[in-house]
Amino acid sequence: MLTPYNLGDDNGGLDSVHNYYEHIVFEEIARQLQDASADSDFTADVACVALNHLPPHYIRHHVDMAFYLSPKASQEIEEKVANAVRNAIVFVTQRGGRNG
């Protein structure tokens, strides 16, 4: 059984920890589905599938990643995210996900 930790009123700063890919996956979904009328369940399913096909990369601040990434690494991440979202849209659509 997990024991809850008492980290104080600010949750020990853990509220700022998140997966770097979440925000850029959400933006890419919006870009790729901008002309489609996708419902929220479809969009959420696409986000989950895409994120599960990308490596987890936890950070506290996006500016940290922007500072340390080379332009080449940044472009590679953008391409990986675009491919993951594209494949997720196909996957969810083929399995009866609602799109529209």
pLDDT tens, position by position, 64-100: 777 788 999 999 999 999 999 999 999 999 998 665 4
pLDDT, tens digit, 9 for 90 and up, residues 26-44: 999 999 998 777 889 999 9
How many structural domains does the chain have?
1
With respect to residue 100, please indicate whether it lies within any of the assigned structural domains. Answer: no
Asked if residue 85 belongs to a domain, the reply is yes
Q: What is the pTM assigned to this prediction? A: 0.81
**Is 48 contained in some domain?**
yes
C-alpha dihedral (21, 18, 52, 48), degrees to nearest 10: -90
Asked if residue 36 belongs to a domain, the reply is yes
Q: Is residue 35 part of a domain?
A: yes
- The whole-number pLDDT of residue 100 equals 47
Rounded-to-integer distance, Cα 65 and Cα 31, Å: 22
Give domain status of residue 78, yes or no. Answer: yes
Residue 67 lies in a domain: yes
Q: What letter represents residue 3's amino acid? A: T
Q: Is residue 76 part of a domain?
A: yes
Domain, as residue range, for 54: 16-94
